[in-house]
Homo-oligomer: A and B are copies of this chain.
């Protein structure tokens, strides 16, 4: 398959590139269990993640001023801990736990797929994660990005159109020269509306074994792939 004129692939990261659910569950257990906290750690990760979209929505609609994702994660964490009656954590522990999101593992196909794709395309993050989060994650996991872009440099959270358009502008490319790559239908639909090409990558257990959404491509995206190795194959890399 050839997608004429595409020069850069821009990537959703949480869920698409990395497995946040298992990683956050592991990190939370490693930090909190020794302190005597007993939880279903995957449910803990899900509950933290459930506060993600509502927090960004406050920024999108102007109810809250701009806050980078590390800071939204921290507000959501404190809210979650209070709800669960987990108290007495010192600042260093809270900060380390909050930065669990910097220590997410890639899916098994991620590194091979990105490495192959990078031979032909510019690879840039286009995530709602902030720059430091993306840099630290990439350094730990060995993700071979050419550029860290996304919400913080665009000052807009996806699916706001500015998030995509400013990424293309930073890359010096037209929207149609960029292909948004994501495991989420709504992200690709929003990118497509501003002229990006689209690649859907299936991540059927991002939300665990009973995942209810994004279990298939629901629109006519330019490429539909089973994983990043399949995507590389389909793009001739």
Binding site for B on A (CB under 8 A): 70, 122, 124, 130-133, 135-136, 138-139, 146-149, 152-153, 170-173
A/B interface sample: 27 pairs, CB < 8 A: A70-B172, A122-B135, A122-B136, A122-B139, A124-B135, A130-B170, A130-B172, A131-B147, A131-B149, A131-B170, A131-B171, A132-B170, A132-B172, A132-B173, A133-B172, A135-B146, A135-B171, A136-B172, A138-B146, A139-B146, A146-B148, A147-B147, A147-B148, A148-B148, A152-B170, A153-B153, A153-B170
- Which residues of B sit under 8 angstroms from A153, Cβ to Cβ? 153, 170
A135 surroundings in chain B (CB, below 8 A): 122, 124, 146-147, 171
Residues of B within 8 A of A172 (CB): 70, 130-133, 136
Q: How far is the CA of A149 from the CA of B170 in the complex (A)?
A: 11
A75 to B124 Cα, complex, angstroms: 28
**A136 vs B122: C-alpha distance when bound (angstroms):** 8
CB-CB under 8 A from A149, the residues of chain B are 131
Cα–Cα distance between A148 and B170 once the two chains are bound (Å): 10
Distance between A213 CB and nearest chain B CB, rounded to angstroms: 31
Determine the chain B residues whose CB is within 8 A of the CB of A130 once the complex forms: 170, 172
Residues of B within 8 A of A147 (CB): 131, 135, 147-148
Q: Which of A122, A138, A172 has the most CB of B within 10 A?
A: A172
Contacts of A171 in B (CB 8 A): 131-132, 135
Question: Please, how many angstroms separate the alpha-carbon atoms of A10 and B152 in the complex?
Answer: 19
Q: Nearest residue in B to A124 (C-beta to C-beta)?
A: B135
Chain B residues closer than 8 Å to A70, beta-carbon distance? 172
A111 CB, min distance to chain B CBs, angstroms:
16
List B contacts of A136 (CB < 8 A). Answer: 122, 172
- CA distance in complex: A139, B124 (Å): 12
A146 to chain B: closest residue by CB:
B135
A94 CB to nearest B CB, Å: 15
**How far apart are the CA atoms of A138 and B123 in the complex, in Å?**
12
Residues of B within 8 A of A173 (CB): 132
